[in-house]
Amino acid sequence: MYNRRPVRSSRSSAGSVRSTGTGRTLRAGGTLLAVAALLVSACSSGSSSTAKSTTDTALGALPRATPSTLSPFYGQKLTWRTCGVPGFQCATMKAPLDYAKPTSGDIRLAVARKKATGPGKRLGSLLVNPGGPGGSAVGYLQQYAGIGYPAEVRAHYDMVAVDPRGVARSEPVECLTGREMDAYTQTDFTPDDKREKGELVDAYKKFAEGCGQRSPELLRHVSTVEAARDMDILRAVLGDRKLTYVGASYGTFLGATYAGLYPDRVGRLVLDGALDPSLSARKLNEDQTAGFETAFQSFAKDCVTQSDCPLGGAGTSPDRVGKNLSAFFARLDRAPIPAGDADGRKLGESLATTGVIAAMYDESAWPQLREALSSAMKERDGAGLLALSDGYYERDADGRYANLMFANSAVNCLDLPAAFSTPDQVEGALPAFEKASPVFGEGLAWASLNCAYWPVKPTGEPHRIEAKGAAPIVVVGTTRDPATPYPWARSLASQLSSATLLTYVGDGHTAYGRGSDCIDSAINRYLLQGTPPARGKRCS
For the chain, the structural domain boundaries read 1-61+84-540
For the chain, what percent of residues have pLDDT higher than 70? 90
| 135: pLDDT strictly greater than 50 | yes
Where does the pLDDT of residue 224 fall: very low under 50, low under 70, confident under 90, or very high at 90 and above? Answer: very high
Average pLDDT over residues 113-125: 95
27 has a pLDDT exceeding 70: no
pLDDT at position 18 is 33
Report pLDDT for 342.
Answer: 94
pLDDT value, residue 49: 32
pLDDT at residue 12 is higher than 50:
no
Q: What is the pTM of this model?
A: 0.92
Q: Is 268 helix (H, G, I), strand (E, B) or coil?
A: strand
pLDDT in tens, 284-306: 999 999 999 999 999 999 999 99
Q: Is the pLDDT of residue 482 over 60?
A: yes
Biggest CA pair distance of the chain: 69
C-beta of residue 190 within 8 angstroms of C-beta of residue 441: no
Instruction: Work out the percent of the chain whose per-residue pLDDT is above 90.
Output: 88
Residues designated as active site: 249, 481, 509
CA distance 281 to 264: 30
Mean model confidence pLDDT for the chain: 90
Enter the CATH code of domain 1-61+84-540.
Answer: 3.40.50.1820
Give the H or E element holding residue 93.
strand 89-96
H-type helices in 437-478, by residue range?
441-447
Integer Cα distance of 222 and 235 in angstroms: 19
Q: What pLDDT is recorded for position 14?
A: 26
Give pLDDT, residue 473.
Answer: 98
Can you tell me whether residue 162 is helix, strand or coil? strand
Angle between helices 366-379 and 281-303 (to 10 degrees): 80
468-477 mean pLDDT: 98
Res. 221: pLDDT tops 90? yes
pLDDT at residue 26, rounded to an integer: 30
Q: Is residue 11 scored above 80 in pLDDT?
A: no
